Amino acid sequence: MAAFAFTACGKKESGDVVVLTGASTIAPIIVDVAKRYEEAHPGVRIEVQTGGTSRGIADTLSGVADLGMASRVLTDEEAEKLTAYRIAADGVCVVLHKDNPINDLSKQQLIDIYTKKETNWSAFGGPDATIVVANKADGRSTLEVFLGFVGLDKADVKADVVVGENLHVINSVVSNPNTIGYVSIGTAATEAQGGTPIKLIATDGIAATTENVASGTFPITRPLTIIEDAETSPAAKAFLDHLKSAEINDIIEKHFFVPVN
């Protein structure tokens, strides 16, 4: 069975062990694909570790990982040494507690919240309660994508809570109904459907749905990619070919992402 470690820092092994590290958004897809792949390829073991896109890129460059998981476009400098393959598309959405009456926030309203220009939910038609701002930690591509949309630098954001994984953001919202955070649409939709008391908020009047990501109408979208360097092992290359195929589309859709192959 595929190994799925959130904080493991293991060294890449040789032979038919394939190590992937990186974006927590992509990891659940790869874990499910790996389970099915291992059943069809006895002797091959797929290890999946998270830690963020920056870790996936760094580990692939250093050789610690065979393949990296990146939920943003590579920079020009990164693309000189790495090749990225899109396997799916995703959106980044704002999440609130399901009991918060607010259902839509504009880009300007998000700027006002994340810079603490507005600090009470009543300013947006919500309860008379102080807004708790949850922000992503450095190295998380979700942070870069969100800041790119609102046009803010990291120094502009005045966060009350700094978190890493998507589920950490969701847990913050669940534990304090006055919290606002932003996560992968796929992750948020999966949790909401499973009964987690959160809701996905529309941005600039556009609902945060997989359908709107697919149509290109949702304003905050990003690619989900697998990256490799110039020295990919045969076992990793074979698994990469599988990830690039339409054979995994059912798993991508199960996780509320948009297949691109």
Domains and CATH numbers, the chain: 3-89+224-259 (3.40.190.10), 90-215 (3.40.190.10)
Tens of pLDDT along 59-70?
999 999 999 999
- Check residue 4 and report its DSSP letter: E
pTM score, whole prediction: 0.81
Q: Which H/E stretch holds residue 224?
A: strand 221-228
Residue 153 is predicted with a pLDDT of 94
What's the mean pLDDT in 3-10? 41
Task: Judge residue 205's burial from the number of C-beta atoms within 10 Å of its C-beta, 0-12 exposed, 13-18 middle, 19 or more buried.
Answer: exposed
206 DSSP assignment: B
Task: Copy the structure tokens of residue 236.
Answer: 């990793």
pLDDT at 15: 58
Structure confidence at residue 11 (pLDDT):
41
Rg (CA), the chain: 19
pLDDT tens track for 151-196: 999 999 999 999 988 899 999 999 999 999 999 999 999 999 999 9
Tokens of 87: 């396997």
Query: By the 8 A CB rule, do 185 and 91 touch?
Result: yes
Four-CA torsion 75, 76, 78, 79, nearest 10 degrees = 110
